[in-house]
Amino acid sequence: MFAAFFIQSGTAAVAGVTAMTYFRYKHILKRQDRLPKTPFRVFDDEHKRTFKPVIVIGAGVVGVATAYQLAKRGYSVAVLEPMDAPGEECSACAAGGMQRSNPVVDRDSWVAVAKCLTPHWARPTRNFDFFHISWSKCLTDPFFLRWVATFTQTSLFPCDEQASKQADMLNFTNYAVTEMVKMLEKNRGYLGKRSGYNTRGSLSVTYDDVTLELPGEDNESQQNNSLNMKNNPTQSKSNLEPCKMLNGIEEVLREEPSLCFQKQLPTGAKYEYESKSASSGRFSKALAEICQNSRSRVWQLNNGGQVKFFYGTKVHGTVTGDKSSPVSSSSSEPSKVIELLTNRGTISCKSQSDNNNLVPIVVAAGAWVPHVMALMNYYAPVYPLTGYAMSVSAKEALQSSATDKKGIRLFDAHLPSRIVCDKYMYTTRLGDEIRITSIGEFSGWSTEPTPSVDKEFRHEAIRQFPQLEPFVTEAKTLCGHRPLVNDGILLLGRLSEESNVYISSGPGSNGWKLAMGSGEVIARMIEGQSTRKISQELGANVETFSPSGRVLRNPLFAKICRARWDV
C-alpha cells in the first residue's frame, strides 16, 4: 500500500513539474515574440561591405581582448554587452593574479569541495568555509545536476588524456601570461597604470609549524615547483612560477611587513617572486577605450579595423538555419545562427558582401555562456562559481589612520604590497586599490551576496589584515561568477566546422590572465588559420580546448534549462 502511495505521489510530482516547465517555456517564447522586430544595425553598411564583420557577445576582459585582437587584423567588431560598461562583473571581482599556473580538476579538488559542503555537525573542527552552496537553487536546477555529475566523473575517474590536456593548459597559460606581461610592460604609462600593474610577486603563507621544503628534491627543483599546501581547496598543482620558500616568522615579515598585525603569525610562505598582477576590470575598461580610440598614433589598428560597443544590449533568442532555409532555434537540425534577437531589435548575421556567408559570432560571456548557448539549443558545461570581493583605498586608509587618534597609525609598509594569500583569502595590491577576494559559492547566476557568507568573508578578511578592520567593515561586497568548466579545461574554438559560432570561456579563475592569448587564438581561427599552425606558433596544442564534443546539442535539455532559468 505504501509503495503504491509513493509511486502515485512521485508520478503526480513529475507530472506537475513537467506541466510547470512547459508553461514557463511557453511564457518565455511569448516574451520573445514581443521583442522589437526592427533591424538593429551594429555595422555601417559601407564598413560591412569593405571590412570583415564579427560579433562578440560579452564585454568582460575576454570579450574586450578578443575584439582588440580581431580589430588588429582589420576586422569590424560589434561587442554586445547587457551592462552599461565593460568589465563590470567577474572582471571587476577577480583577484588579479597572473601566475603561470593552473588549478586542476582532480580527486583532491573534488574532496576539497565535498569537505567544505559537509554539514558543520559532521566535521571534526569548525573552520572558515571557502566553498558554499545554495541547496535550494542547485538541487532544483537540472543544469547544475548534470554539470556536477560530469565534474565528479572527471575528478574521480579522469580519462586517459586528462593529464596531457592539463599539460596543454599549462603551456597555453605560459604563452598567454607572457604575452599579457609584454603588453603591460610595453605600455606601463597608460595600460599598466590604469590596471594597477604590480610586479612584486605573490606570497602564499602558511601557519603550519613545519619547514617549507620539497622532500627529495634539490634546491633548484624547489625553486621551480609549487608547494602543496595543506587543506588549500584552491591550490594549483600545475605551476611554472619560480619560487623560494620563506621559513620562520621573521623571514616572512621581512618580505611582507603588513602581516605583522595578525594574531597568529605565519610560520612560512612560498614566494613566487616573478609573478605579476593587475586589475582585470580596470584593464578591460582601459583596453575598451583603446579600441574605441584606435585612430590614435600609438594604438592605431591595422587595415581600418574598428570596435563598437553596444551596452545595454542583451541577446534573448536566436534564429538558426542553413543558407537557404532558416528555421527556428527549436529545430533539431544542426544549424548556423543567422539572426540574433535582442532587446534593441534583430541583428542579421548575413554578410553584406555575400549572402551565403555568415558573420562569425564569438560567445565570450564568461559564466553566462550556458544561457547564450541554450538559446541555440546547446549544453555548455560551464557553471558559475561565485566569488566575493571588496576594495579598500590605500590612500584613504593612510589618511584616515593619520587623523584617528584612537586607532593604529598606518604607514605604507603596513599595507599589503603584492598578492598575499593563505588557504582561503587573496589580497592584492593594485595601485591605490587593495582588493580582497575569497569564497567559491554554488548559487546559480545571482550576483547578490548571501548575508551569512558575506559575514564570514568579512570576518576572515579582518583576521588576515586586522589593521584594515574599519575599512573592511564599511566596504561594499561585489560578487562575480568564475566560469567553472566541468573538466577544468578552457573552452576555446569553433563550435563545429559548419558553424559560425565560436566560444571562449573558462576554465575558472584563470580566464583573466588568458584573455589576450584566447583572443589571439579566436582571431587566428576566424582569419582561417588551422589549429595545427596556431599550435605550432603558440607552443600549445589548442585543439585540446575545442568545444567540439564538449558543448553538446540538446534541444530538449536546453528548453528545460531555459524554463528553469526564465531566459
Task: Provide mean pLDDT across the span 204-230.
Answer: 53
Would you call 423 helix, strand, or coil by DSSP? coil
Q: Does a structural domain hold residue 11?
A: no
What pTM value is reported for the model? 0.91
Query: What is the DSSP code (8-state) at residue 512?
Result: H
* Residue 62 neighbours by CB distance under 10 Å: 31
Q: Does a structural domain hold residue 536?
A: yes
Query: For residues 327 and 167, which has the higher predicted lDDT (pLDDT)?
Result: 167
Q: Does a structural domain hold residue 10?
A: no
Q: 557, 379 in Cβ contact below 8 A?
A: yes
Q: What is the pLDDT of residue 387?
A: 96
Tell me: pLDDT of 62 over 60.
yes
Average model confidence (pLDDT) for the chain? 87
Tell me: pLDDT of 335 over 70.
no
Tell me: pLDDT of 408 over 90.
no
| Amino acid identity, position 523 | A
Instruction: Clarify whether residues 337 and 468 are in a common domain.
Output: no
| Amino acid identity, position 406 | K
Shortest CA distance to 67 belongs to which of 525, 516, 372? 516
Instruction: Clarify whether residues 353 and 287 are in a common domain.
Output: yes
Instruction: Clarify whether residues 146 and 260 are in a common domain.
Output: yes
End of a domain among 427, 455, 485?
485
Instruction: Clarify whether residues 207 and 261 are in a common domain.
Output: yes
Q: Does a structural domain hold residue 40?
A: yes
Q: 243, 272 in Cβ contact below 8 A?
A: yes
Tell me: pLDDT of 312 over 70.
yes
Instruction: Clarify whether residues 414 and 449 are in a common domain.
Output: yes
Q: What is the CATH number of the domain that holds 327?
A: 3.50.50.60
Task: Give residue 49's pLDDT band: very low, low, confident or very high (50, 70, 90).
Answer: low
Query: For residues 554 and 15, which has the higher predicted lDDT (pLDDT)?
Result: 554
- Report the number of distinct structural domains present in the chain: 2
Q: What is the pLDDT of residue 333?
A: 45
Q: What is the pLDDT of residue 18?
A: 81
Instruction: Clarify whether residues 502 and 479 are in a common domain.
Output: no
Tell me: pLDDT of 553 over 90.
yes
CA distance 508 to 510: 5
Q: What is the CATH number of the domain that holds 136?
A: 3.30.9.10
Shortest CA distance to 408 belongs to which of 477, 471, 476? 471
Write out the DSSP string of 100-133: SEE---SHHHHHHHHHHTS-GGGSSS----SEEE
Q: What is the pLDDT of residues 463-499, one digit of tens each?
A: 999 999 999 999 999 999 999 999 999 999 999 988 9
Q: 412, 429 in Cβ contact below 8 A?
A: no
Task: Give residue 332's pLDDT band: very low, low, confident or very high (50, 70, 90).
Answer: very low
Instruction: Clarify whether residues 240 and 371 are in a common domain.
Output: no
Q: Does a structural domain hold residue 183?
A: no
Q: Does a structural domain hold residue 182?
A: no
Q: What is the pLDDT of residue 426?
A: 96
CA distance 487 to 210: 33
- Pairing type for strands 268-272 and 244-247 reads antiparallel
Q: Exposure of 523 by Cβ count < 10 A (0-12 exposed, 13-18 middle, 19+ buried)?
A: buried
> Which cell numbers in the block locate residue 181?
606581461
CA distance 166 to 29: 41
Q: Does a structural domain hold residue 51?
A: yes
Instruction: Clarify whether residues 447 and 503 are in a common domain.
Output: no
Q: What is the pLDDT of residue 1?
A: 58
Q: What is the pLDDT of residue 225?
A: 39
Q: What is the pLDDT of residue 326?
A: 46
CA distance 536 to 175: 12
Instruction: Clarify whether residues 474 and 492 are in a common domain.
Output: no
Instruction: Clarify whether residues 247 and 395 are in a common domain.
Output: yes
End of a domain among 485, 500, 520?
485
Q: Exposure of 327 by Cβ count < 10 A (0-12 exposed, 13-18 middle, 19+ buried)?
A: middle
Q: What is the pLDDT of residue 125?
A: 63
Virtual torsion, Cα 445, 449, 450, 453, nearest 10 deg: 120
Q: What is the pLDDT of residues 247-265, one digit of tens each?
A: 999 999 999 999 999 999 9
Task: Give residue 520's pLDDT band: very low, low, confident or very high (50, 70, 90).
Answer: very high
Query: For residues 227 and 5, which has the higher predicted lDDT (pLDDT)?
Result: 5
Instruction: Clarify whether residues 343 and 441 are in a common domain.
Output: no
Q: What percent of the chain has pLDDT over 70?
A: 84
Tell me: pLDDT of 182 over 50.
yes
Among 141-155, 291-305, 330-344, the range scoring the smallest mean pLDDT is 291-305
Task: Give residue 301's pLDDT band: very low, low, confident or very high (50, 70, 90).
Answer: low
Q: What is the pLDDT of residues 64-112, one digit of tens each?
A: 999 999 999 999 999 999 999 999 999 999 999 999 999 888 898 888 8
Q: Containing domain of residue 390, as a range?
A: 112-163+193-270+383-485
CA distance 508 to 314: 23
Tell me: pLDDT of 48 over 90.
no
> Which cell numbers in the block locate residue 441?
559559492
Q: 74, 53 in Cβ contact below 8 A?
A: no
Peptide bond into 124 cis (omega under 30): no
Q: Does a structural domain hold residue 6?
A: no
Q: 333, 327 in Cβ contact below 8 A?
A: yes
Shortest CA distance to 550 belongs to which of 466, 492, 509, 464? 492
Q: What is the pLDDT of residue 298?
A: 43
CA distance 442 to 175: 31
CA distance 294 to 273: 35
End of a domain among 485, 513, 540?
485
Among 223-227, 243-247, 471-475, the range scoring the smallest mean pLDDT is 223-227
Instruction: Clarify whether residues 147 and 263 are in a common domain.
Output: yes
Scored b (16 or more CB within 10 A) or e, 127-137 reads ebbbbbbbeee
Tell me: pLDDT of 7 over 90.
no
